Amino acid sequence: MGLKDAIQRVSLPAPAKINLFLAVTGKRADGFHDLVSVMAKLGLADLVTIDRVEQENHLSCVCNGTDRLNGVNNLAEDAVQAWRTFTGIKDGLQLTIHKEIPIEAGLGGGSSDAVATLLGLNAMMDNPLSHQDLIKLSAEVGSDCPSFLIPGLCVAQGRGERVRATSPSLHQEMQGKPVLLFKPPLGFSTADIFEAFSGSKRFSATEEVRQKLIDWESCKLPTAEFLSNDLEFPIWEKHLYIPALFRVLQEEFGLFPRLSGSGSCCFCIGTENVPWLAVEKVIRLAWGDDAFVQQVQII
């Protein structure tokens, strides 16, 4: 097993995600939480480039746009190490990540970069790994990672390692919908948010979560009523300015804002005739000109 001599460079997009639904149903013996999450990929992406270099075992990473991720202090590096352990391939590698996805935002940028790295390495191999091998490797790197191996909408369960696609008709219905992302000029620590949530013990009932997912996938429950995130509770307690803005956006524009993952990025899925410039103006008046605001689409 090795890399194809003819391939010296591979570049792949690493899309962002939003959590349309996130329920935490309990704490596991291994320290992780049991989750049920529905994720949608977005037309906002980093670009991951892998170059082969002559020095065996070499690994370096340059992250354009976010200097703090330079070096090898990121999930893409973890993905390479997991892949090397699994395959035994020691070719030297240089990673370049062009960041477009905000960090510490709940948009899955680090996880998506890691999976794009695995997919790029797989494309370079003489004998590519199977989808199941990639699922296994990605789960070792991070709980969100397996979901990025499923294109379009997907459901993730367990700690995130059990993934499946939603129905094609549901994906077709959601694909192309406009999404407004908006993020205050600060990030949240996923570990801190889960620790605060665990202390509250506000776990969702497994059967209720299962039924809500069934109702949505069978089109009995509208998406606007399906949108939910259990992790909002501990964040609202500390960051009161977020639910305050959500109320304004719902009252003035009929939108249903939600937090993505553990935040700090929030999103609204567009309906017909939304005055997006007016919405952005309200967000910037509330959070300042340093807030991240960008309109994208579900892909």
Phi, psi of 297 (to 5 degrees): -130, 155
The stretches of the chain forming alpha helices (DSSP H) are 75-87, 109-124, 131-141, 168-174, 190-200, 206-217, 223-226, 232-238, 241-253, 276-287
Helix (H) or strand (E) holding 176: none
Place of tokens 């919405």: 279
Which pTM does this prediction carry? 0.93
Query: If you count them, how many residues does the chain have?
Result: 299
Domains annotated for the chain, with CATH where assigned, are: 9-165 (3.30.230.10), 173-297 (3.30.70.890)
Active site residues: 17, 144
Is the CA virtual torsion 102, 105, 108, 113 positive or negative?
A: positive
User: In sequence order, what are the residues at sequence separation of 6 or more whose Cβ sits closer than 8 angstroms to the Cβ of residue 41?
Assistant: 15, 16, 17, 148, 151, 152, 153, 298, 299
* Cα angle 275, 279, 285; round to 5: 145
pLDDT values of the chain reduced to their tens digit, one per residue, 299 residues: 789 888 999 999 999 999 999 999 988 888 788 999 999 999 999 999 999 999 999 999 999 877 666 665 689 999 999 999 999 999 999 999 999 999 999 999 999 999 999 999 999 999 999 999 999 999 999 999 999 999 999 999 998 889 999 988 899 999 999 999 999 999 898 888 888 887 777 899 999 999 999 999 999 999 999 999 999 988 998 899 999 999 999 999 999 999 999 989 999 999 878 999 999 999 999 999 999 999 999 99
